A and B are shown apart, each in its own frame.
Chain A
Amino acid sequence: MNARHLALAVMGIGTSVPALAQDDALPRFIHVDTIEARVQGCVTCHGHQGQGTKDGYFPRIAGKPAGYLYNQLIAFRDGTRRYAPMNYLVAYLPDAYLKEMAEHFAKQRPAFAKKEAPPVTPALIERGKTLVTAGDGAKQLPACVACHGAGLTGMEPGVPGLVGLRPSYVAAQLTRWRVGERRAAEPDCMKRIATRLSESDVAAVAAYVATQDAPRDPSPESANFVRMPMACGSQR
C-alpha cells in the first residue's frame, strides 16, 4: 500500500466516523517554525490541508491556484472582498506572508469530502449541467468549464477550482457577484457572467457542481489564454 492509498483509506474512515471528521477542525502541527504551524489560524474553518471542514459554509481552498488564493487574501485584508471574520484575521499581514500562505494551500492535495446530493429537482441539475458544460448562447453565457477547467479544477494563475465546493458557498458567491458585492480585477469577467444568471441559474450551477465526482487530477489547468471566452483581469 503506498502513501496515496493509505491517505485514501484514512479518508474513507474519516468520512464515515464523525469523531474523526470533527478532528479536522482541531489544531495540529509538529514543529513551531513551519508554515503548517503558522496557518493554524485557518484550520478550524478550512481544515488542516485546506480540504474544508464539516462545517457548512467554509470553502475548500486546497489546490486552488496560488494566484487566486493570494488575490483573495489581499482583497480580504484591504476590505475589497467583505467577510468580517476573514477581514479581521488577515487585516495586519504583509503581502509576502499572504503569498506564502496562498502557495502553501495551493500545493495541498488532500482527499475530497464525500459529495452530498443537494435536495433539488433533476430538472435543475440538468439546467446546471448545461450551464457548466455548454453555457447558454441565448444569454451569452460561456460554459463554466471554459475557464474553470474540464474537471472544474480551475486554471493557473487566477481562476479557482469549483469542484469540492458546497452549494451554499457557490450560490452565495455567485449571488454576491450578481449584486456587485464581490468583484475581481478589471476587466471583471465574473461580473459580466454572474449578472447574466437568473436566481434559478445560480441554484442550478451550485447544485450541479456539488454532484461532481472528485477529479482524477485535482491540479488546476495551466494558463491557456487562447481558450478564454472573456478577458479576465485576474489572469494577467
Chain B
Amino acid sequence: MKRALLAIVLLGIAIAGVMGWMATHQGYLPEKPKRAGAPNPTTQVISLGEYLARAGDCVACHTEPTGKPFAGGRAMATPFGAIYVPNITPDDETGIGRWTADDFYRMMHTGVSRDGSLLYPAMPFAQYTKVTRADCDAIFAYLQSIAPVKQKNKPHELRFPFNKRELLVGWRTLYFKEGEYQPDPAQTKEWNRGAYLVEGLGHCTMCHTAINLLGGTKESKEFEGGMIPNQNWYAPSLTSNREGGLGDWSIKDISDLLQVGISQRATVYGPMAEVTYNSLQYMTDEDTAAMAVYLKSLPKRDAEPPPTSSARLVQPAVMETGRNIYVKQCALCHGSEGKGHPPHHPPLAGNPSITMATPVNPIRIVLNGGYPPGTRKNPRPHGMPPYSHILNDDEVAAVVTYIRVAWENAGTPVAPRQVSELRTLLPE
C-alpha cells in the first residue's frame, strides 16, 4: 500500500514537473483555443524566418535576375573570379532539402557547409555568426517551407590560388571571429536590437568597410567606408561626419533613408538602392529606427584629415563652367542654393555623399542618373536623368567640382580624367 502511494505521489510530481516544463517551453503545450484565423506556432516561426531572411537580404545573392527565388546560380563577380551562389531551396538533391537545423546553424555560425567544406567569405558568415540560434532556426524553417527548385549548383570560377579552399583556413584566422551577438547591458534594448541587425543579418560592414587585397575587412576600420569591389561605387563611411556620417542626422531621417530610400538629407542609389529594395523596405519601423539609433551612436572617426584649403582651390574658369551647367541642368530640382526639395529632390549643400574624399558617387550619378528604389512607402520615386551623352568629361568634372565646393561644401575639385575613367564603365 505504501509503495503504491509512493508511486502515485512520484507520478504526480513527475506530471507536475512535465507540465511546469511544458508551460515554460511554448510549443509543447496543447494549443489554447484561439480566435479564428490566428496563425499557429509553426506559421509564426516561418513568418519570422521570412522576415529575418529579408533582413539578411538572402534573396539578392541567392537568386538569378530572372530565376526562381533562392534557387542560386547567380554569378558574383569578385576580384578573385566568379563565385556562383548556391541553391538554398529545399530540394533534396540540389538544394538544402536534406539539411538539418543543426547543419544550417553551423553554416551560419561558423562558415562551414554541411559537407564540411569551408565557405568563401562572399557568404557573410563573419557577420551571420552573430545571429542567434533561435533566429537561425526560424530562417531555416522558412527556407524549408518554400517551393523546392531542382537546379544544380555551378562550380566557382576562381583564379589560382583562390580556388584552393584550404587557403580559407588562413583567411579565417585573420578575419573571422565566431560568436553570437552579445548585448551590451550599458545600452538600451533598442540600441542592442539595432546593433544586432546592423552587425549580424544586415551585414552592413561587408560594403561599408574597406576590403583589402585578401578580401578581408579590418575591425579597426569598421564602418569607415570603402570602394565596393567590381561595382565601382563607394560605400561611404558611417562614422565620418565628412562622408556618410550620421552624427547630426535625426533618427527619422536615418530610418527613412534605410527603409523608404529617400529622406530629408539624402537618397539611396546603386548598390544601396538594391539593399533597400530587397531588404530594408520590409523591415518594421521599430527595427529600422533601432538600426538608426545604433548607426547614429557609432563613434566619430575620420580616417584622413580634412582637405587643406590649397587642395580645395578651383580655377575660376572651371567654377564658372560648373555654375553655368548647374543653373541650366540641375537647379530646377536641387535649387539655386543646393538645398534641393527633399525628400524627392535631395539637397546637395551639406550632403556628405557629395563632398566625401572619393568623388566616384557624384560623378556616376551625373553620368548615369538614377532612380531611388520603389518601396512600400515611396512606390513612385522621382528619377535623376543621365547626362553622359550631354556633358563631356570637362563639363561633368566642372559641375561635380562646383557642387563639391559651392555653398560652403568642403569637397575638393574633380579632374576630367576621373570622369573619363568612370564613363568607360557600364552603369550598374
* Residue of A32, A41, A43 most packed against chain B (CB within 10 A): A41
Q: Is the CB of B371 within 8 A of A45?
A: no
* Interface status of A42 (Cβ within 8 A of chain B): yes
Q: Is the CB of A97 within 8 A of B374?
A: yes
A90 to B381, CA, bound (A): 11
Q: Is the CB of A100 within 8 A of B383?
A: no
Give 1 or 0 for each of B396-428: 1 = CB within 8 Å of chain A CB.
000000000000000000000000000000111
Give 1 or 0 for each of A70-81: 1 = CB within 8 Å of chain B CB.
000000001110
* A: interface residue count bin: 20 to 34
Q: Is the CB of B384 within 8 A of A91?
A: no
* Interface status of B379 (Cβ within 8 A of chain A): yes
B273, B328, B379, B387: the one within 8 Å of A91 (CB): B273
Q: Is the CB of B380 within 8 A of A80?
A: no
A39: nearest chain-B partner, CB-CB? B383
Main secondary structure of the interface of A (DSSP, over half): helix
Give 1 or 0 for each of B337-378: 1 = CB within 8 Å of chain A CB.
000010011000000000000000000000011111110000
* Residue of B276, B328, B329, B383 most packed against chain A (CB within 10 A): B383
B344: nearest chain-A partner, CB-CB? A32
- B345 surroundings in chain A (CB, below 8 A): 32
Q: Is the CB of A26 within 8 A of B328?
A: yes
A40, A55, A85, A96: the one within 8 Å of B382 (CB): A40
- A28 surroundings in chain B (CB, below 8 A): 332
Q: Is the CB of A100 within 8 A of B380?
A: yes
A41: nearest chain-B partner, CB-CB? B383
A35 to B383, CA, bound (A): 11
For the complex formed, measure the closest distance between the CB of B395 and the CB atoms of chain A, giving whole angstroms: 14
* Interface status of B179 (Cβ within 8 A of chain A): no
Q: Is the CB of B386 within 8 A of A89?
A: yes
For the complex formed, measure the closest distance between the CB of B274 and the CB atoms of chain A, giving whole angstroms: 6
The answer to whether A90 and B371 touch (CB under 8 A), given A27-B332, A32-B344, A40-B385, is yes
- B382 surroundings in chain A (CB, below 8 A): 32, 37-38, 40-41
* Interface status of B65 (Cβ within 8 A of chain A): yes
A80 to B64, CA, bound (A): 12
- B277 surroundings in chain A (CB, below 8 A): 92
* Interface status of B3 (Cβ within 8 A of chain A): no
- A49 surroundings in chain B (CB, below 8 A): none
Q: Is the CB of A94 within 8 A of B427?
A: no
Q: Is the CB of B427 within 8 A of A84?
A: yes
A91 to B385, CA, bound (A): 14
B332, B344, B428: the one within 8 Å of A84 (CB): B428
* Interface status of B230 (Cβ within 8 A of chain A): no
* Interface status of A153 (Cβ within 8 A of chain B): no
* Interface status of A203 (Cβ within 8 A of chain B): no
Q: Is the CB of B344 within 8 A of A41?
A: no
B332: nearest chain-A partner, CB-CB? A27
A91 to B60, CA, bound (A): 12
Q: Is the CB of A45 within 8 A of B332?
A: no
A227 to B193, CA, bound (A): 63
Q: Is the CB of B328 within 8 A of A41?
A: no
B384: nearest chain-A partner, CB-CB? A41
Give the residues from 57 to 116 in chain A that come closer than 8 angstroms, CB to CB, to chain B: 78-80, 84-85, 87-94, 96-97, 100
The answer to whether A89 and B383 touch (CB under 8 A), given A84-B426, A84-B428, A97-B374, is yes
A134 to B329, CA, bound (A): 46
The answer to whether A78 and B66 touch (CB under 8 A), given A44-B387, A92-B273, is yes
- A92 surroundings in chain B (CB, below 8 A): 273-274, 276-277, 371-374
* Interface status of A25 (Cβ within 8 A of chain B): yes
B344, B372, B386: the one within 8 Å of A44 (CB): B386
A55 to B382, CA, bound (A): 23
For the complex formed, measure the closest distance between the CB of A145 and the CB atoms of chain B, giving whole angstroms: 32
A42, A55, A79, A96: the one within 8 Å of B65 (CB): A79
Q: Is the CB of B65 within 8 A of A78?
A: yes
- A84 surroundings in chain B (CB, below 8 A): 426-428
A88, A90, A93: the one within 8 Å of B368 (CB): A88
Q: Is the CB of A27 within 8 A of B329?
A: yes
For the complex formed, measure the closest distance between the CB of B367 and the CB atoms of chain A, giving whole angstroms: 9
Q: Is the CB of B329 within 8 A of A26?
A: yes
Q: Is the CB of A27 within 8 A of B333?
A: yes
- Provide 29 A-B residue pairs closer than 8 Å at the C-beta atoms, listed in order of the A residue: A25-B390, A27-B329, A27-B332, A28-B332, A29-B332, A32-B344, A32-B382, A35-B380, A37-B344, A38-B380, A39-B383, A41-B370, A41-B371, A41-B385, A43-B385, A44-B387, A78-B66, A87-B427, A88-B368, A88-B370, A89-B370, A91-B273, A92-B274, A92-B371, A93-B373, A93-B374, A94-B379, A97-B381, A100-B380
- Give the 6 A-B residue pairs with the shortest CB-CB distance, closest first: A41-B383, A92-B373, A88-B427, A92-B277, A44-B385, A84-B426
